[in-house]
Amino acid sequence: MTTSLHVEQAGGGLPLVLLHAFPLSSAMWAEQRERLASRCHVLTPDQRGFGASPLGPDAPDLAACADDVVALLDRLGLDRVVLGGLSMGGYVAMALLRRHPERVRALVLADTKAGLDPEAARANRLRVAQDVERHGNGGLVEQMLPVLLGSTTTTERPGVVERVRAMVEQAPPSAVAWAQRAMAGRSDAFDVLAGADVPALVLVGDEDVLSTVDDARAMTEVLPQGQLAVLDRAGHLSALEVPDAFADAVGTFLDGL
């Protein structure tokens, strides 16, 4: 079953879908909507359970998130789109590419990775899921903020730190648990990337400790038309930490399509 996603949109023309990170919402793309609206039609859905989208009754599986996005495209009458995602958004983009490759005109994969979690990280996701269900997501902020943001942002951009803190605090525990279980069960996506013969931009912050420059390089190498952009002084949430550099890289990529 698909969930009807709430979507924030800006601009017009070539459709660019941007899927948000865990445990955030479409609010993380505010700067990108503003900066990219003059060049394309930016669509930023709230993924199931986050922001204004309902969680739905399905068992945790990123395939369901991918199908939600396709149902949204159908609802809006959009056939092929430039599909982008940051971190968890990238995992969902790769799940969509596996299930519905005909809907993808080009790819933007930011601060994400195609490989599986090591067993300890997978076990930790399941532990976090159980923990937020029992105790709420109070502990999540302190656990996640230091790894979501790069060291430059942590020390020099207090406004960004506070904004991300507020977003993490607002994440519903039920959605956090669902998404952690779904991410724990995801498939290795290198085979999907190897078969994706479409223009593909891989972006990564040079201070990202969750999805590293090496992870980005590995994806770029298997993508038949992959190109890599490393963003300086940015961590895992590069789109928020260095919004101008992120929008410039995406804009230049779109100009080349």
Torsion of CA 117, 118, 119, 125, to 10 degrees: -40
CA 225 to CA 33: how far, in whole Å? 25
- The burial class, CB within 10 Å (0-12 / 13-18 / 19+), for 142 is exposed
Under the binding rule (CB under 6 A), the answer on residue 108 touching ligand MLT is no
- Shortest approach of ligand MLT to residue 213 CB, angstroms? 16
CB atoms within 10 A of CB 214: 9
- Shortest approach of ligand MLT to residue 98 CB, angstroms? 18
Q: Considering only residues 167-206, where is the footprint of ligand MLT by CB under 6 A?
A: 183
Of 2, 44, 47, 87, the one binding ligand MLT by CB under 6 A: 87
- Shortest approach of ligand MLT to residue 146 CB, angstroms? 12
Q: Which is nearer to ligand MLT, 190 or 254 (CB)?
A: 190
Of 108, 149, 210, 239, the one binding ligand MLT by CB under 6 A: 210
Rounded to 5 degrees, what angle do the CA atoms 21, 24, 26 make? 85
Under the binding rule (CB under 6 A), the answer on residue 92 touching ligand MLT is no
**Structural Rg of the chain based on CA atoms:** 17
Q: Which token pair is 81?
A: 């789109």
CA 54 to CA 32: how far, in whole Å? 24
- Shortest approach of ligand MLT to residue 50 CB, angstroms? 11
Q: Which token pair is 187?
A: 């498939």
User: Considering CB under 6 A, how many residues would be counted as binding ligand MLT?
Assistant: 7
Of 88, 149, 240, 247, the one binding ligand MLT by CB under 6 A: 88
Under the binding rule (CB under 6 A), the answer on residue 137 touching ligand MLT is no
Residues lying near ligand MLT in the complex (CB under 6 A) = 21-22, 87-88, 183, 210, 236
